[in-house]
Amino acid sequence: MNTKQTPFFQILLLSWLCAVYSQDALSQDVFINPDAAGNLEITWTIPPCTSPKAGWEDEFLVDQPYQIKYKKASALLWESVFHTSASGAFIPAADLNPGYMYKFKVKYYGQNMDCRGLNRVRELGVEHFYYNVAVFNETQIIPGRSKKIHGVAYDKCLYPYTWPGGSIETVRLFQWGCYNEDIKAFLMDELSGGRVRMQNQMLGQCIVPTPAFAGDYARLGLEMGVGACDWPNAIYIKQPAGGSVFRLVNEVNGRCLVPSGDADGAMLYQSPCAENDERQLFFFEDF
């Protein structure tokens, strides 16, 4: 009988990868904010241990204990690494490529007698950001164009969300109370024949069935997410249901949007369209 042993260095490598990615998943203290010109401001939570680490002047400036690095999320190596003493950093638009998910990481190098040990190297946080410069100048509410997608049955509005460290591919569509909140703002790209694309202003992405990334768009019970607005599956038909109310019917697969329940945080999915199902009824509401 043949037996195959795993080399020690492979076990060591796997252990290191598990440690790295589990650490990334727990980091939630880095924040990314774009301006109208497409530049990014990075801020982070300042730790209690803020004395710079002595003796590292050759590698890190004593007055610049914060390390910032970033890369495209799909890339193996970090594209840029730099240091600062401030509680924030600035990345110009010229250094970024539109249409990519970026990963940002911030570390702190310092020492403090009140901390556990003299030398401290702390990962302050990891954050992902989808860089879509085309919509940065439309993140503000636009009168007459910014709409909430308001469900009739449960009196709740739609919004996209993913867990910290998630990506565009992990975003799902949920419902919550209809108070004004920027993440609930959608720009309606009205097409001919009562067709529409619904682009979330904060993400720059349109509502689509989630397997747009895998190819199976028509499956019943499919969760709703966001994706590129030029995908055929991003187009919905506003099927009239009386007054300003309508069903949202996917033009490609003929399925209707419907919430999974009446609670705040209920996920949206697609199901066969039914005239007697009030859960499938929506209207667009101004901010």
| Contact by Cβ (8 Å): 142, 186 | no
Q: Which of 159, 155, 161, 126 is nearest to 32 (CA)?
A: 126
User: Which tokens belong to 15?
Assistant: 């252990």
For residue 278, the tally of other CB atoms under 10 A from its CB is: 14
Q: CA–CA separation, 70 vs 68, rounded Å? A: 7
Each of the 287 residues of the chain gets a pLDDT tens digit; together they read 455 555 555 544 444 444 443 344 334 477 887 776 778 888 887 655 444 444 443 344 446 778 899 988 777 888 899 888 777 888 988 888 776 778 888 888 765 544 544 456 777 778 777 676 544 445 556 667 789 999 999 999 999 987 766 667 778 999 999 988 888 999 888 888 999 999 888 887 889 988 654 455 556 667 898 888 888 889 999 999 999 999 999 999 899 999 999 999 999 999 999 999 999 999 999 98
Q: How far is CA 144 from CA 13, 18, 45, 141, 260, in A?
A: 55, 48, 37, 9, 30
- Domains located in the chain, CATH noted: 8-135 (2.60.40.10), 139-286 (2.80.10.50)
Alpha carbons 22 and 25: distance in angstroms, whole number: 5
